[in-house]
Amino acid sequence: MPLPADTDASTPKYLRDKYAIVGVGETVYTRGSGRTTRAMGSEAVRNAMADAGLKPGDVDGMLSYQGVDSTFGPMIAGDCAMRLNFYMDVFGGGSSTEALIGIAIGVMEAGLCKCVAIFRSMNGFSQVRIGGTGARSAAPVSGDMLHTRAYGWQSAGQSFAPTFMRYMHDYGTTPEQVAMVKVIHSEHASNNPKAYYKKRMTVDDVVNSRMICKPLHLLDCCVETDNATCIIVTRAEHAKDLRHTPALIRGVVGRCNKPRMDMHYQAGPISRVAGWYAKDILWPNSGVGPEDIDVTGAYDAFTFTTMLQLEDYGFCGRGEGGDYVSSGIMRLGNKRPNNTSGGHLCEGYTHGMNMVIENVRQLRHDIDDSCPIGPDGKRQHTYDYKEGGCRQVKNVEVTANLGWAMPGTGSAMVMRRG
């Protein structure tokens, strides 16, 4: 694959392609798992090991992220017969996946361990609801939270709404343009047997769904689901003994921020998101730019988060996000599909890990759609993207994941086919 000439990077270029994602696994995406996060997490880790062709003794590192809503790594490792040389459970939601991949590379580079399983396990519908309803919404409000939650400014949608609204004001973006993110992701989900919501939606469906918090209709918001996901990262040179074509990690940027994270709205323009800063690490470190990317995974906690990130990472010009997402460019079969699984809006909510898993499978040229399986045991992809059809993108070589925590914080990663 031809790559553009190297540009100056702010971290050593020798890490490019040195590490790879060699295994991915997940549970079903459901509402009402009827299981603990421990049971789901260990299933996802076992599935990822089986996918990679690794045995428990081959994995000696574990990372996870959570918000006091999951099971710690050592419990999962025990249930998977692993002895760990390194583990860490961090506090975090969206954008943690790419950041933890960066940490995994760092600890392996430092010699702490040699193969890291990263998991996220959550009952985001049946236990700690990601939309913020339930027990968390009725908690007392203390200290610094008096400047936000006391005003009914608490859930993710409420917290981000002023960013989205100001963007529409500044650039004349319409609700119909933004709704196209949901429309396109729902088309992709209709070709994903795993997706929680498989029904194709129209712009009218989105803008006529009930208002949650302006500018967010119900269908501008992601689904809440129960599920666990896992990816396994190791040195690329180990991948040759494993089952799949590795997804080589070109470059990562982790939890990059705007100024004033105590209240990022003090740093204008407020419609600018962390990607505007993160791009200056991502592209030089990866040695590629937006034009080189075949498939994007721009985090869709809301329709708006996909749009704002694609714009600030440079996939379109300032203020052109509405044109970009409504142009059809993100559709399967077109130039640069986004979230081919249906993402958080449709497949299920994992705080970002399922979007990395999807791009790993795209890079293997072995996406798990409904295409027939041939005599060699591999799917015979038709590249017919009609409802219920194929979702493999032809000849994918380079992907980008753009992870979102909030307007002020994001992570990203570029991978290429090994």
Partner 1 sequence: MALQGTHLGMGLDVNDLDTENLEYFKYCAAHDFHLQQCEDCNLIRYPPNTGCPWCASPRARWTRVEGKGAVHSYGEVHHAIQPAFKTHTPYMILLVDLDTQKGQPNADEAIRVAGNLALPDGTLAPADLVKTVGIGTRLRMVFTDVAPGLSLPQWAIDEAAQQPAKPWRYPQE
Give 266 or 380: the residue with its C-beta nearer to partner 1. Answer: 266
DSSP SS3 for 55: coil
Least separation in angstroms between CB 179 and partner 1 = 11
What is the rounded distance in angstroms from the CA atom of residue 98 to the CA atom of residue 412? 6
Q: How far is the CB of 371 from partner 1 (least distance, A)?
A: 40
375 is written with which tokens? 């005599």
Q: How far is the CB of 270 from partner 1 (least distance, A)?
A: 6
Is 324 in the active site? no
Residue in 19, 29, 299, 385 annotated catalytic: 299
* C-alpha closest to that of 197 among 29, 332, 316, 57: 29
Residues 105, 415: Cα–Cα separation, whole Å: 14
Reply yes or no on whether 383 is catalytic.
no
Binding status of residue 182 toward partner 1 by CB under 8 A: no
**Using rule CB under 8 A, residue 268 touches partner 1:** yes
In the complex, least distance from residue 264 CB atom to partner 1, rounded to whole angstroms? 10
In degrees rounded to 5, what are phi and psi of residue 176?
-70, -40
Stretch that binds partner 1, among 73-81, 106-114, 268-276, 394-402 (CB under 8 A): 268-276
The token duo for 381 is 């992809």
- Report the half-sphere exposure of 65 (CA within 13 A, side-chain side): 23
- Looking at 3, 28, 84, 165, which residue binds partner 1 (CB under 8 A)? 165
Q: Which residue lies nearer to partner 1 by CB, 217 or 391?
A: 217
Alpha-carbon distance 103 to 97, whole Å? 10
Give CA–CA dist 288/286, Å, rounded.
Answer: 5
50 is an interface residue for partner 1 by CB under 8 A? no
- Asked whether position 138 contacts partner 1 by CB under 8 A, the answer is yes
Task: Out of 53, 56, 74, 132, point to the residue binding partner 1 (CB under 8 A).
Answer: 132
Alpha-carbon Rg for the chain, nearest whole angstrom, is 20
Chosen residue from 2, 111, 140, 375 binding partner 1 by CB under 8 A? 140
Contact 227, 357 (CB under 8 A): no
Contact between 155 and partner 1 by CB under 8 A: the answer reads yes
Contact assessment for residue 54 and residue 242, using Cβ atoms and an 8 Å cutoff: yes
* Cα diameter, the chain: 63
Q: Which stretch binds partner 1 (CB under 8 A): 84-92, 265-273, 359-367, 386-394?
A: 265-273
**Helix, strand, or coil (residue 280):** helix
HSE (side-chain half, CA atoms, 13 Å) at 408: 15
When binding is defined by CB under 8 A, the residue of 211, 237, 243, 387 that contacts partner 1 is 211
Query: Applying CB under 8 A, does 68 fall inside the site for partner 1?
Result: no
In the structure encoding, which two tokens stand for residue 99, read together? 């950041």
Q: List the x/- string, 88-127, binding to partner 1 by CB under 8 A.
A: ----------------------------------------
Catalytic residues: 299, 349
Footprint on this chain of partner 1 (rule: CB under 8 A): 131-133, 137-138, 140-144, 146-155, 157-158, 161-163, 165-166, 168-169, 174-175, 207, 210-215, 259-260, 262-263, 265-270
